């Protein structure tokens, strides 16, 4: 006879969130299975390091498990989880003092990441951006969030978000110009 957990892969997410809310580990495992790839990719874009991003993603998921009871609307699970992920990433940045010099662009970072592959190049290019600018860019391009949404999530002024995204985009365009068939990329490297 099939057990209830056998049907979890077919259950809608809010239903699983409700079950996990009540302490159902099977439902939580199914949520982890569904969200792990998105979460790890998000953290990878944020930090550029596969090992560190997986560690941070695990921290996020443990936090989800511990504070799931504070989530009031199961429908908002994705946005709530993203908020937790960003909060943990910002904590990590502060702990490592990576926000210092947030207005300076790291000119040498791209040349330090001389690894082939589009994803690697993107991460290396992102590494040339200061912490907050990088996060704004990731939220805009990876998560598809609007500027006001980013400002609200990061609790910073809208103007600052726009400025970070504008400067960050220009920087990425410059560093990744090889993908456009422009000659700047070789020079940037």
Partner 1 sequence: MTEDRDPMLQAMFSEASPELDGEAFIADVMARSRFTRYRMAVGSLAVAAILVAVAGVVLVPVQELGAILAQGLTMALIDVGEGWWSLIMSPINSVAGLLVLLVKMVRMAMKRVRSASYA
Q: Which residues sit at the interface with partner 1, rule CB under 8 A?
A: 23, 25, 28-29, 32-33, 36-38, 40-41, 45, 54, 57-58, 61-62, 65-66, 118-119, 122-123, 140-142, 146-147, 162, 166, 169, 172-173, 176, 179-180
Structure token digits, residue 85:
């992920």
**103 phi, psi to nearest 5 deg:** -95, -5
Structure token digits, residue 28:
């939580």
Q: How far apart are CB 85 and partner 1 at their closest, in Å?
A: 14
Q: Which residue reads 């429908």 in tokens?
A: 75
Which of residues 69 and 112 has its CB atom nearest to partner 1 in the complex?
A: 69
Q: How far apart are CB 1 and partner 1 at their closest, in Å?
A: 24
Which of residues 135 and 176 has its CB atom nearest to partner 1 in the complex?
A: 176
Which of residues 48 and 131 has its CB atom nearest to partner 1 in the complex?
A: 48
Using CA atoms, how far apart are residues 85 and 16, in angstroms rounded to an integer? 20
Q: How far apart are CB 117 and partner 1 at their closest, in Å?
A: 9
Which of residues 15 and 143 has its CB atom nearest to partner 1 in the complex?
A: 143
Within 10 Å of residue 146's Cβ, how many Cβ atoms?
11
C-alpha distances out from residue 49 to 62, 111, 124, 165, 168, Å: 20, 16, 10, 22, 19
What does the chain come to in residues? Answer: 189
């Amino acid at each position: 006879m099939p057990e209830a957990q056998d049907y979890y892969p077919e259950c809608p997410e809010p239903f699983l969130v409700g079950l996990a809310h009540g302490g159902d580990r099977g439902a939580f495992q199914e949520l982890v299975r569904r969200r792990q790839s998105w979460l790890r990719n998000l953290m990878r874009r944020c930090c550029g390091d596969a090992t560190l991003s997986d560690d941070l993603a695990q921290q996020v998921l443990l936090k989800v498990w511990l504070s799931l009871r504070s989530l009031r609307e199961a429908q908002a699970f994705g946005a709530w989880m993203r908020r937790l992920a960003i909060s943990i990433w910002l904590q990590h940045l502060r702990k490592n003092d990576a926000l210092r010099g947030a207005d300076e662009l790291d000119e040498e970072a791209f040349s330090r990441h001389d690894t082939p592959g589009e994803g690697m190049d993107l991460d290396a290019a992102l590494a040339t951006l200061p912490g907050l600018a990088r996060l704004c860019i990731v939220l805009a391009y990876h998560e598809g969030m609007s500027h006001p949404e980013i400002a609200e999530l990061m609790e910073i002024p809208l103007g600052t978000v726009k400025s970070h995204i504008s400067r960050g985009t220009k920087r990425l365009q410059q560093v990744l110009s090889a993908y456009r068939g422009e000659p700047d990329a070789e020079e940037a490297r």
